[in-house]
Amino acid sequence: MDGKILITVGRQIGSGGLQVARKVADHFGIELYDKNLLMITARESGIAQEFFAMQDERPSALGRFARFLGIGGPVYADSGEYSDVGNLSGDNLFSLQSKVINRIADNGSGVFVGRCADYVLRDRPELFSVFITANEEYRIGKVMERENLTKEEARRFIESSERKRAAYYNYYTFKKWGDSSSYNLCLDSSLFGIESAASLIADLYEKFRR
């Protein structure tokens, strides 16, 4: 396919969204960006990767609280043009990461997993945003296998991780995480498997760009 390809994939925990995204990226022969975004952002900003990992798709209420105690953040006075330099607040890390996503999109194609990329790239005509869901049983099974957990532990893991992920998304995007109106397409991967889901998305993307 000619021209730029921008696809974002949101996903429930254990829905296989990442694998779907990888298949889509392979189909078009373009890069996949997920956790490696942290590494790229860390390299470009000079801020250690741990900080990005600490606040990856998770809100940092504690950090925000500290900032308003007047410690570690410009509360009364802003040092202006330097404000995003070496600033380790979650808000700033998000803004740095968004800049990287935008720069990648400026330079070419990509499939982006999570990190509010659908919001960051919202004004681009090439963007197609997808959200992958799956039924509970399927997701619990996947998480049990991946994280080596019991059924009950997996259920709790999904619940708490998704709460954080939703809080992060809702905080930065003014939209609702997982809500159908936030995406172009919502898809249940447990219905027809990773492979078909990926080819369906690729197919729809080609139709959309035609």
Partner 1 sequence: MIPVELGTEKIGKLLKQYATPAIIAMLATSLYNMVDSIFIGQGVGPMAISGLAVTFPLMNISIAFGTLVGVGAATLISILLGQKDYKMANRVLGNVVILNLVISFVVTALSLIFMDPILYFFGASENTISYAREYMVVIMWGNVISHLYHGLNGVVRSSGRPRLAMMATILAVVLNVILDPIFIFVFKMGIRGAAIATILAQVIALVWITKILCDRDNVLHFSREVFEFDFKIAWRSLSIGMSPFLMNIASCFVVILINNQLKRYGGDLAIGAYGIANRLCFLFFTITMGLTQGMQPIVGYNYGARNWSRVKEVVRLTIFCSVAALSLAFVVGMVMPDLAVSLFTRDAGLRAISARAFRISVSMFPVVGFQAVVTNFFQCIGRVGKAIFLSLSRQLLFLIPFLLTFPSFWGTDGVWFSMPASDLVSSLVALALFLPLMREFDRLGKEPVSQVTQ
Binding interface with partner 1 (CB under 8 A): 39, 42-51, 54, 60-80, 82-83, 85-88, 91, 94-96, 98-99, 119-120, 123, 171-172, 174
**CA dihedral for 110, 113, 115, 121, sign (positive or negative):** positive
**Residue among 167 and 200 whose Cβ is closer to partner 1:** 167
CB burial of 189-203 (b: ≥16 within 10 Å; e: otherwise) equals bbeeebeebbebbbe
Task: Determine which helix (DSSP H) or strand (DSSP E) holds 188, and give its type and residue range.
Answer: strand 185-188
Q: Minimum distance from CB of 48 to partner 1 (Å)?
A: 4
Q: Minimum distance from CB of 53 to partner 1 (Å)?
A: 11
Q: Do 75 and 67 form a contact (C-beta atoms < 8 A)?
A: yes
DSSP state at residue 130: E
**Residue among 74 and 141 whose Cβ is closer to partner 1:** 74
Q: Minimum distance from CB of 127 to partner 1 (Å)?
A: 14
**Residue among 75 and 191 whose Cβ is closer to partner 1:** 75
**Residue among 138 and 172 whose Cβ is closer to partner 1:** 172
Q: Which amino acid is at 168?
A: Y
